[in-house]
Amino acid sequence: MKFSLDTFRAALEPMLPCNSVLIGLSGGLDSVVMLHALLQLRAAGELPFKLRAMHVHHGLNPAATAWQQHCATLCQQWEVPLVSTHLNLSEFVQAGTGIENVARTARYAAFSAQLGTAEVLLLAQHRDDQMETLLLRLMRGAGPRGLGGMPRSRSLGAGMLFRPLLQFDRSELLGYAHHQQLQWVDDDSNAAQQFDRNYCRHTLLPLIEARWRQYRASWSKSIALQSEADVLLQELAEADLQQLRVIQDKTLQATSAHDLRNALPLDALLSLSLPRQRNLVRRWFVQLGLPEPGWNELQQLVTEVMPTVRDSKASYSGAGYSVVRYKNQLLVLRALSPIDQHAAMTWSPVQQPDFVLPDNGYLVARPSNNDRQDQQRAVAVTGALQVRYRQGGETCRLRGRRHKSLKKLLQEQGIAPWYRDRLPLIYAGDELICVPGIGATDGNRATAASTSTAPHIVIEWQPPDWMPGA
């Protein structure tokens, strides 16, 4: 499509109404053309929003400071407010990540931080950029979402991102720039073909165009179809997820198993086809606020963790979380900071009812109500108590029950495995007198009888939240 003020104005129409627009200004051809066209529309009284620009200094090229100065001069000449930011790319470096991805991640983080509420960020990627993106993602084995290319719009920070040039070829922008006698900077690293995108731009795509002149139009159609397919997959995942939640809600009402509130019932999940299982789990992760799992992660979950026997301990560990089977449910657990298993903390619950445990939630002491349940759980407090953790081999006799190991007691009480080593135990001296949430021991009965005037309290533990998306 030919680039002109009329076609550019039409390309801006799908953008959400806003009061302010932030323009990503690199100083290169594309962003300079976009800024100039916006100013022409503003001069004609056709822009209902304020304009400002932002330049990101990556510090990767010796000419980067000169590019920044070019943007500053241009914005001063055109009377556009400019924000410039220098990036510290070392904050974004991860093992196995190329410098292109590092710079991109840092750049979008900078844009996100700068965007005001309901402000729109305009970026100048064009159709040739979209073709390169499609080819790169195809080489990496992307699915419908990835092959849908760069979205025209999406949320970013407190505002939105919008790309109004995706329907225009670079040659059209170049023709406009020459006609308007614009000046821009050229990044010499764009010619370095050790970078995948540059190799696509300078070698692969020219070969394709020599054989298939209309490939951009055909590929654009494929991008649109893949985007539609992704929408349908998300709608199917949402419908499947809602159906499983209906089943899960019935389970929670029957068992009061609050730890399973974000879990998926495995029998219902496994009744779906493998593609629908992967599709649903991907959506589930996103709704829990976790990074969307890749193909290899989904395959491992669907083929190795989910279909194992009912009492299996099969699990999968990701970055900051783990996926486990429990009570025929599939759960995601947030990785918590380790605790000092040998810690011994002194606590006076009468004077300090709330007691924070380092990296492990907190204890709460409340007066006993003297009902039957509280009578089994209340302890008589005659002084300071000790809070410790399991060391292994502990035994106790809960009131009215047989003597047994703490390990067996926790299993019988249905305490989830991930809670057991973090469960605080209450001691008076060397004697275990209370397992919070379960009951008081017979060891405290003599103390309670001999000190009837001592405060009787129920100790409860509020554990840290293991569940993402809570």
**Whole-number pLDDT of residue 326:** 86
Strand partners, 7: none
**Whole-number pLDDT of residue 169:** 97
Residues 289 and 366 in one domain: no
| Secondary structure of residue 89 in the 3-state scheme | helix
233: pLDDT strictly greater than 80: yes
Instruction: Give the count of beta carbons closer than 10 Å to the beta carbon of residue 223.
Output: 20
Q: Mind listing the pLDDT tens digit for each residue in 133-170?
A: 999 999 999 999 999 999 999 999 999 999 999 999 99
Judge whether 57 lies within some domain: yes
Judge whether 224 lies within some domain: no
Question: What is the residue whose two structure tokens read 């709608």?
Answer: 235
Section 442-462 average pLDDT: 69
**Whole-number pLDDT of residue 446:** 45
| Secondary structure of residue 226 in the 3-state scheme | helix
Instruction: Give the count of beta carbons closer than 10 Å to the beta carbon of residue 323.
Output: 23
Q: Mind listing the pLDDT tens digit for each residue in 164-191?
A: 999 999 999 999 999 999 999 998 888 8
Judge whether 221 lies within some domain: no
Per-residue pLDDT band for 415 (boundaries 50, 70, 90) equals confident
Residues 281 and 414 in one domain: no
Residues 247 and 328 in one domain: yes
DSSP letter, residue 92: T
**Whole-number pLDDT of residue 183:** 96
Per-residue pLDDT band for 443 (boundaries 50, 70, 90) equals low
Judge whether 278 lies within some domain: yes
User: How do beta strands 120-122 and 159-162 pair?
Assistant: parallel
Backbone dihedral angles phi then psi of residue 321, each to the nearest 5 degrees? -155, 170
Rounded Cα–Cα distance for residues 282 and 77 (Å): 49
Residues 15 and 122 in one domain: yes
**Whole-number pLDDT of residue 254:** 55
Rounded Cα–Cα distance for residues 330 and 316 (Å): 11
**283 contacts 238 by C-beta, under 8 angstroms:** yes
Per-residue pLDDT band for 413 (boundaries 50, 70, 90) equals confident
* Least confident residue range of 11-25, 186-200, 272-286: 186-200
Rounded Cα–Cα distance for residues 357 and 323 (Å): 26
Residues 262 and 143 in one domain: no
- Domain edge (last residue) among 281, 310, 334: 334
30: pLDDT strictly greater than 70: yes
Residues 78 and 126 in one domain: yes
**Whole-number pLDDT of residue 449:** 45
**Whole-number pLDDT of residue 96:** 53
274: pLDDT strictly greater than 90: yes
Judge whether 468 lies within some domain: no
**283 contacts 237 by C-beta, under 8 angstroms:** yes
- Based on the structure, what is the number of domains in the chain? 3
Residues 201 and 234 in one domain: no
- Domain edge (last residue) among 213, 248, 282: 213
- Domain edge (last residue) among 271, 299, 334: 334
Per-residue pLDDT band for 94 (boundaries 50, 70, 90) equals low
Residues 57 and 147 in one domain: yes
Judge whether 223 lies within some domain: no
Rounded Cα–Cα distance for residues 114 and 22 (Å): 9
What is the per-residue DSSP string for 401-446? S-EEEHHHHHHHTT--HHHHTT--EEEETTEEEEETTTEEBGGGHH
Residues 269 and 316 in one domain: yes
pTM over 0.85: no
- Kindly state the percentage of the chain with pLDDT values over 90: 63
450: pLDDT strictly greater than 50: no
Query: Whole-number mean pLDDT of the chain?
Result: 90
- Kindly state the percentage of the chain with pLDDT values over 70: 93
Residues 151 and 252 in one domain: no
The CATH number of the domain holding residue 245 is 1.20.59.20
Bigger pLDDT: 413 or 233? 233
Instruction: Give the count of beta carbons closer than 10 Å to the beta carbon of residue 444.
Output: 22
- Show the domain range for 307: 230-334
**Whole-number pLDDT of residue 59:** 84
CA 442 from chain center: how many Å?
47
The CATH number of the domain holding residue 111 is 3.40.50.620
Residues 252 and 330 in one domain: yes
Section 383-407 average pLDDT: 88
Residues 363 and 454 in one domain: yes
Judge whether 218 lies within some domain: no
Section 35-53 average pLDDT: 95
Judge whether 220 lies within some domain: no
